[in-house]
A and B are shown apart, each in its own frame.
Chain A
Amino acid sequence: MIDFFIPVADWINTAFDAISLSISPTLRTISAFLETIIKGFENILLWPPEVVILVLASILVWRVAGAKLAVFAFLGLLATIGMDVWQETMATVALALSGTLVSLLFAIPLGILASQSNTAERIIRPILDFMQTLPSFVYLIPAVMFFGMGKVAALVATMIFAMPPPVRLTNLGIREVSHEMVEAARSFGSNRWQTLVDVQLPLAMPTIMAGVNQCIMMALSMTVIASMIGAGGLGLVVLRSMQTLDIGMGTVGGLGIVILAIILDRLTESIAGDNRNNR
């Protein structure tokens, strides 16, 4: 019999204790910053009367994605008011959007970096693999340890979950730009930055937008799981109904999320589509 024991759990716990203690001032700064973002979104969405947001959102959808989706958005959001989950829906939107925003803030530069250097790609890729294969429940714990229960921890967990696709797709999109295009730019004396901005990024835009779409979808799905660490919103409705075996309430929460998912997905898809047509 093999008889040995690797105390991974002990090591990690000791390490985390040490780390969280030593970097707690930094953590507080980050925490405050993230909280500002979420609060900002929540304030924008919840401060005006429901009808105002409902109409504004429908108009926005209509302008970007056309009348069909606008009608759906109007009716869907109206239904969330009818089901009395407007507050929760908007909280979820706020979290998903801030999650997306913060993710993209890191993901797109990282993707560009990975596309410019093979070394960077070799380093970033396994980290992304790790982030994507690690069960999401596992990083809820360190998120809570570092940032405490609440929306900030939820945002951090969302970020980890939603970041890999846009990084990968940004990298892929840029690397897929035809070699001759890049050569053409370089042959006129473009430096790296000019080549990137004038040629590579515009041509990679459809792929990058697909990454943004993925990012939003994943952020939205994470908000449900993150309700366990205090994300609130529709996720909390679902979580509570699970704990109380309230099928009706669970359906309401689920419906709200589906409505949001459809609107956000189609919306970003049509933005990506516009980009393709402009080429």
Chain B
Amino acid sequence: MSLIEVNNLFKIFGKNPTKAQKMLAEGYSKDQILSKLQATVAVNDASFTVEQGELFVVMGLSGSGKSTLIRCLNRLIEPTSGRVIIDGAEVTKMDHNALQDLRRQKISMVFQGFAVFPHMTVLENTAYGLKIRGLPLKERNQKAYETLEMVGLKGWENYYPDQLSGGMKQRVGLARALATEPDILLMDEAFSALDPLIRKEMQNELIQLQNTVRRTIVFITHDLDEALKIGDRIALMKDGAIVQIGTPEEILMNPASNYVEKFVEDVDRSRVLTAEMVMKKPIAVVTYPKDGPRVALRCMRENGISSIFAVDNRFRLQGIVMAEDALEAVEQNQKDLTQILNRDISTVKPDTILKDLFSLLSQNNLPLAVVDNENRLLGIIVRGSVMAKLAEGGGADD
């Protein structure tokens, strides 16, 4: 079951939302409704699900209704109609107390303008959610200290937000949201107000955080690069409606409409970049048949990888060895890699364009091998590094 489920959600601002919704159903456009009823359609029939542990990005231009949408999830904004179901409970039907409880226990939010309280210290800010939850001072401070250390603000506990830079303020915002250990984190353009360098740093840290404790995150952004870099799946919004939902690859490769295509045009480097530009040097390989499973296992451990390519003494690709197989082989005291060598692997040429890599990458979880005409291993491509490369803005220069 999905953690968040949104069904046919509408939000219409203005005097006559019911009538506006009827007009929408009859096929009137957003502009027609605005001029006839002075009603603004902010969210138009949005439906999607977010899985446990997923980083779900909602992306759209300003005015596309994405900020309204995210506020409907915790009902900071009351949806006009539709259903929001979180962890099996229907949020849209909750009474005041149940809603307050949901916000205290399960959801927290990070804001574009940081919204850290200027009259509270960093520590007090971080402990705010726990204070509202009713935790005693000592416990909540303890938790706040830990969370601040996690976001890299150790030592700043007693400063006021005025004394902090923008990036640090948002770290406080993030710490405040994380301190309550919520199931769901709502991030509304959380990094948009930061300068590009700090933004990239924060994105990386968010990815790092996700690697340690996987939280379910709904992340709003107007920046496609950001969406591609951090999103597990992306929903594209236009005029309040969701135009397409998919993984970054799907969005890049099969834009569902002109609108999406226009966005993606900016990222057209996917059609320009080649395998050679995004591959990593094969630093860790084992030689087959010389090396045994022990060597392979140690090599993987040293490099922190879960699979390793095997080449012969002329660096020609022989296959791939998985860590779990190597471990088994070691336990069974096998001397060479013959039994565990997987020869059925996808290879690409250095001049294969990125667009064609995506389908190969999404088919299996193994890294791709880049080989020359004589099957010599030139480089390795893993999914993460491709997306990172794209998000970094081409980066063919390094």
Give A contacts to B, CB under 8 Å. Answer: 178, 180-181, 183-191, 194, 198-199, 202-203, 278-279
- The answer to whether A186 and B103 touch across the interface, beta carbons within 8 angstroms, is yes
Q: Is there an interface contact between A188 and B111, defined as CB atoms closer than 8 Å?
A: no
Chain B min CB distance to A274 (Å)? 13
Task: Identify the closest chain A residue to B74 (Cβ).
Answer: A187
A188 touching B129, Cβ below 8 Å: yes
- By the criterion CB–CB under 8 Å, are B117 and A181 in contact? yes
Are A184 and B132 in contact, CB atoms less than 8 angstroms apart?
no
Q: A180-B111, A191-B100 are in contact. List 12 more A-B contacts (CB 8 A).
A: A180-B113, A183-B109, A183-B111, A184-B111, A187-B107, A187-B109, A188-B108, A189-B102, A189-B133, A194-B132, A202-B117, A279-B119
Residue of B nearest to A203 (CB): B119
Please report B residues at the A interface, Cβ cutoff 8 Å: 71, 74, 76, 100-105, 107-109, 111-113, 115-119, 128-129, 131-133, 160, 162, 176, 180, 186
Could you say which residues of chain B place their CB within 8 Å of the CB of A178? 113, 115
5 A-B pairs in the complex with CB atoms less than 8 angstroms apart? A180-B112, A183-B115, A184-B111, A187-B108, A279-B118
In angstroms, Cα B32 to Cα A31, docked, is: 63
Q: Does the CB pair B118–A187 fall under 8 Å? A: no
What 8 A-B pairs are tightest by C-beta distance, nearest first? A189-B104, A189-B103, A184-B115, A187-B109, A188-B129, A180-B115, A202-B119, A189-B100
Hey, which chain B residues are within 8 Å of A279, CB to CB? 118-119, 160, 162
Query: Which residue in chain B gives the minimum CB-CB distance to A202?
Result: B119
Across the interface, do B180 and A188 meet the contact criterion of CB distance under 8 Å?
yes
Contacts of A188 in B (CB 8 A): 103-104, 108-109, 128-129, 132, 176, 180
Task: Report the Cα distance A44→B117, complex, angstroms.
Answer: 40
Complex-state Cα separation, A185 to B177, whole angstroms: 11
A256 CB → nearest B CB, Å: 38
B71 to chain A minimum Cβ distance, whole angstroms, is: 8
Chain A nearest CB, measured from B178 CB (Å): 12
Provide the residues of chain A in CB contact with B129, threshold 8 Å: 188-189
Interchain CA distance A190-B128 in the complex, whole Å:
10
- The residue in chain A whose Cβ has the minimal distance to the Cβ of B101 is A189
Most buried by B among A183, A185, A188, A199: A188
> Which single member of A187, A202, A278 contacts B76 (CB below 8 Å)?
A187
Report the minimum CB–CB distance from A272 to chain B (whole Å).
14
- Closest Cβ neighbor of A275 among chain B residues: B119
**CA of A180 to CA of B189 in the docked complex: distance in angstroms?**
13
Given contacts A180-B113, A194-B132, contact A187 B119 (CB under 8 A): no
Q: Which B residue's beta carbon lies closest to that of A184?
A: B115
Nearest residue (CB) in A for B180 is A188
The residue of chain A having its C-beta at the shortest distance from the C-beta of B71 within the complex is: A183
Cβ contact within 8 Å between A181 and B115:
yes
- Bound complex: CA of A258 vs CA of B100, how far in Å? 53
B180 surroundings in chain A (CB, below 8 A): 188
> How long is the Cα–Cα vector from A278 to B162 in the complex, in angstroms?
10
B112's closest neighbor in chain A, by CB? A180
Chain A, residue nearest B105 (CB): A189
Which residues from chain B contact A194 at a C-beta distance below 8 Å?
Answer: 132
Question: In the complex, A199 Cα to B362 Cα: how many Å?
Answer: 48
Docked CA distance A202–B124 (Å): 14
Residues of B within 8 A of A187 (CB): 74, 76, 103, 107-109, 186
* CA of A181 to CA of B107, assembled, Å: 17
- A190 vs B109: C-alpha distance when bound (angstroms): 13
A184 touches B109 (CB 8 A): yes
| Cα distance, A185 to B186, chains bound together (Å) | 14
Contact B118 A203 (CB under 8 A): yes
Q: Is the CB of B162 within 8 A of A183?
A: no
Name the A residues within 8 Å of B108 (CB-CB): 187-188
B115 touches A190 (CB 8 A): no
Nearest-Cβ distance from residue A127 to partner chain B, whole angstroms: 28
